[in-house]
Amino acid sequence: MAMGFELLDRDGLARLGRLTTLHGTVRTPVLLPVLHPDPARQAIPSSEIQARFHAEAVMTSSYILRRQADLSTEAQTKGIHSVLGFPGTVVTDSGAFQQHVYGGVEATPPEILEFQNAIGTDVATPLDLFVEPEVSHAEASRGVEETARRVEEARKLRGERLLAVPVQGGLHDDLRRRSAELTSSFADVLAVGGIVPLMDSYRFAELLRMLCRLRPHLPPEKPLHLYGLGHPMLFAFGALLGADIFDTASYYKFAVRSSLQFPTGSMPLSSVREEFCGCALCSEVPLQKVAELPAPAREKHLALHNLEQCFLEIARVRQAIREGELWDLVEQRASGHPALMAAYREVLQHPEVFLPTEPPSRRRLFLRGPLSLQLPPVVRFQRHLHEYTSRPSRDHSSPQWPSTPLGKVPPELAQVYPVGCVVAPEEYLPRDRGTASAPPAPVPSSVSAVDPMEQALGILEWTWGESVRQALNGKSIQLRHSKGSGRLREIFIDGNAAFVVGNDGLPHPTFRGGEFLHATLPAGHHRVTASDDAQPFVETGRSLFAQHVLRASPDVVPGAYVLIVNQADALLAVGRCLLGSAEMVRFRHGVAVRPVAHRKPATSSAASGDSATGALPLPDAGPAP
């Protein structure tokens, strides 16, 4: 497989991906334990890290290694993987952090990169200028320009390995954007640098504000590394903004000062009075016993504990992305410390960063309090609702509309995401239904006040636009409802199953529905255009890969159902997007759209004679009309 980054799944900006290097494939988000290049000074042997945590990649300092003559010679002779005793992917830093700590380094940028080539690293880093958060705009600008010059030179010297390119600029938003603009084209991996001072002083809100403002200017097809963001309480925040790579040296630094790391914060070992940690390591040796160990054994144990907490949190983040519940995990983590809550509030001030990749729906939406009403899916729903109810053909408001945790909504939309998927505290509170001040409960699964046909037409218009509703005039429309819940499950047009209504309350097109939409929607809407090379595969149900996408409509977002067409705008299949419009034409690896419905070959011997396939399964559906 060619080296590079491939996106496999996602939750908004957060991604599950695959980064391929010279020494294998790494699943992202990935945690890189930072190893000392001298194995004698590494508290936890790399073999133990690999065996216990199944680490796929690690990070070390090429600058420190280069300064140790014996190890430097061994690394250039046998390779960095041999020195570290680690067979997987190795990422090397350049000495920029040492420059930050000590004020300078004893090497030139070309020397550092040539050394990384000589030791056979998988991902090399050019020697950038670490820009401190507090420096003046002029000084930061000089650092950005010099880093850009070094990066361009490094691209020519990198050899066959991947190049991680630092994005600097301190807290100056324009300079961060300038740095990304100057250096992104030379990068295989993007690395946001200069953030450790913000972390060390708990200035998380400033850090997240900088990342929110920078993220739209970073190419989405390249994995993002947040240098030094190594505490488990911040991994969910980083992933929320699209970070794919984290590194941690703090697991050992905290251990040296007898401090424990948790996703909820840190704690000195001296404060432990109860055996509250249920991790595997603390089950083996209770924390109060750890405090009695000699210093070397205590430091190793605490380092292992901290590293286990880091790997566990990365696993939680990955699971949350799979389930579409990363926002909820972030809100839980925000409750762990006032500085994290300040960061969460700051993130919610930037919905425009998240809306281009916000999926049409998720399985559920937790509303934990007033801040939840600022979540991107709620912001988008309110904007769409305003546009929907402002059309001349619709009532602008009505006292008869059901009350929901998101406000009053037209009854035909009461089961549509996010309204119909809300999980809110009001659902579980004792309720006096005769009290006018009682909080609104989530709308029940069956809303008897809405006319079934109006519900069907309303959700079609909500999802696909006014032209779709208008095009249904004069057509025969039949509906299928669930026997058990009474929910609308399928919409037939002129006898053909056209739309399946999912648990999110939204109508998902079959191939027949795709044909109807293709004939109805204006050209350039809800479409992804495939290359001629891809057509034979797509029209038989194979995935459309990003490298074969020619165009994508601006309204295409991840998770949306779209029409896959050829260059002549002929319908090939109905698909569900993994990438958004702006991403599809940039990624060179991986799937862009997964077909869910396509036309059967003309030679098919379908008993019914129906030439369309790919209808989604119907949960708890009654007989066809």
Catalytic site includes residue 93: yes
Return the closest-CA partner of residue 196 out of 150, 250, 152.
Answer: 250
* Position 495, amino acid: G
- Could you tell me which residues come within 8 angstroms of residue 135 by beta carbon, excluding any fewer than 6 positions away? 143, 170
Give residue 604's pLDDT. 41
Q: Name which of 113-117, 282-286, 580-584 the model is least confident about.
A: 282-286
The full 3-state SS of 250-292, as one line of letters, equals HHHHHHHCCEEEECCEEEEHHHCCCCCCCCHHHHHCCHHHHCC
Whole-prediction pTM? 0.92
Q: Which tokens sit at 354? A: 């998240």
Q: In sequence order, what are the beta bridge partners of 31?
A: 246
CA–CA separation, 557 and 505 (whole Å) = 18
> Model confidence over 132-141: pLDDT tens digits?
999 999 999 9
Question: What pLDDT was estimated at residue 441?
Answer: 58
What tokens does 105 get?
A: 């380094």
Strand partners, 353: none
Cβ-proximal residues to 284 (8 Å cutoff; 6+ apart), any chain = none
Q: Is the pLDDT of residue 617 over 60?
A: no
DSSP string, 569-618: --EEEEEEESS-HHHHTT--SSEEEEEEEEEPPTT---TT---EE-PPP-
- Which regions of the chain carry the CATH code 3.90.1020.10? 358-428
The token pair at 27 is 């699943």
Which CA distances in Å does 471 have to 95, 468, 583?
64, 5, 31
HSE, CB side, 13 Å, CA atoms: give it for residue 313: 28
d(CA 378, CA 380): 5
Residues 24-44 pLDDT 10s: 999 999 999 999 999 989 999
Please, which residues have CB within 8 angstroms of residue 319's CB and are 6 or more apart in sequence? none
Note whether 373 and 382 are within 8 A (CB): no
Q: Are 560 and 577 in contact, with CB atoms under 8 Å apart?
A: yes
CATH classification for the domain delimited by 476-613, as one of 3.30.2130.30, 3.20.20.70, 1.10.10.60, 2.30.130.10: 2.30.130.10
Does residue 425 have a cis peptide bond before it, meaning omega lies within 30 degrees of 0? no
pLDDT digits (tens, 9 = 90+) for 80-100: 999 999 999 999 998 877 776
Question: Residue 621 has what pLDDT?
Answer: 36
Alpha carbon dihedral 86, 91, 94, 95, in 10-degree steps, equals -60
Asked if residues 342 and 204 have their Cβ atoms less than 8 Å apart, the reply is: yes
Question: For residue 391, is pLDDT > 90?
Answer: no
Q: Are 501 and 482 in contact (CB under 8 A)?
A: no
Single out the residue of 40, 28, 35 nearest to residue 4, CA to CA.
28
Task: Pick 226 or 130 by higher pLDDT.
Answer: 226
**Token pair for residue 521?**
């929607």
Q: Using CA of residue 526, residue 531, residue 537, residue 542, what is the dihedral sign?
A: negative
Radius of gyration of the chain (CA): 27
The answer on pLDDT for 128 being more than 70 is yes
Once rounded to an integer, what is the mean pLDDT over residues 338-365? Answer: 97
Long-range pairs, 278-286, Cβ under 8 A, ≥24: 279/305, 279/308, 279/309, 279/312, 280/308, 281/305, 281/308
pLDDT on residue 602: 53
pLDDT for 237 equals: 98
User: Rounded mean pLDDT of 242-250?
Assistant: 97
CA angle 372, 373, 374 (to 5 degrees): 90
In the predicted structure, residue 59 carries a pLDDT above the cut 50: yes
Residue 81 has a CB neighbour count (10 Å cut-off) of: 21
Q: What is the biggest distance separating any 2 CA atoms in the chain, rounded to whole angstroms?
A: 84
One-letter amino acid of 488? L
Average pLDDT over residues 295-300: 94
Tokens of 247: 């590194």
* Matching residue, tokens 């038989």: 540
Q: Is the Cβ–Cβ distance between 84 and 58 less than 8 Å?
A: yes
| Ranges in the chain annotated CATH 3.20.20.105 | 4-348
> 498 phi and psi, to 5 degrees?
-105, -35
- pLDDT of 618 higher than 50: no
Split at pLDDT 50, 70, 90, the class of 399 is: confident
- Taking each helix axis as running N to C, give the angle between helix 46-53 and helix 295-323, from 0 to 180 degrees, rounded to the nearest 10: 40
CATH class of 4-348: alpha beta
**From 93, 122, 188, 247, active-site residue:** 93
Q: How far is it, in rounded angstroms, from Cα 356 to Cα 344?
A: 19
Please report the pLDDT score of residue 600 as a whole number. 72
430 to each of 59, 367, 370, 433, 564, how far by Cα in Å? 53, 17, 20, 9, 49
Question: What mean pLDDT comes out for the span 267-271?
Answer: 95
b/e map of 131-142 (b: 16 or more CB within 10 Å)? bebebeeeebbe
Secondary structure element (H or E) that encloses residue 544, with its range: strand 544-545
Question: CATH 2.30.130.10 spans which residues of the chain?
Answer: 476-613
Q: Are 65 and 118 in contact (CB under 8 A)?
A: no
Alpha helices in 169-243 (DSSP H): 173-183, 196-200, 204-214, 235-240
| 82-86, 253-257, 442-446, 581-585: range with lowest mean pLDDT | 442-446
Mean pLDDT, all residues of the chain? 91
Average pLDDT over residues 367-396: 90
**Helix crossing, 173-183 with 204-214: angle to 10°?**
50
Task: Look at residues 211, 224, 190, 195 and name the one whose alpha carbon lies nearest to residue 96.
Answer: 195
What pLDDT, on a 0 to 100 scale, did the predictor assign at position 429?
82
Between the alpha carbon of residue 616 and those of residues 416, 468, 487, 520, the distances in Å are 18, 21, 16, 22
Output the DSSP codes for 51-74.
HHH---EEEEEHHHHHHSHHHHHH
Indicate the class that CATH gives domain 358-428.
alpha beta
Q: Check pLDDT > 90 for residue 436.
A: no
Q: In this predicted model, what pLDDT tens digit does every residue of 535-581 receive, in sequence order?
A: 999 999 999 999 999 999 999 999 999 999 999 999 999 999 999 99
Identity at 341, one-letter amino acid code: M
Distance separating alpha carbons of residues 138 and 178, to the nearest angstrom: 13
Token reading at 382: 């309110």
Q: Do 95 and 63 touch, CB atoms closer than 8 A?
A: yes
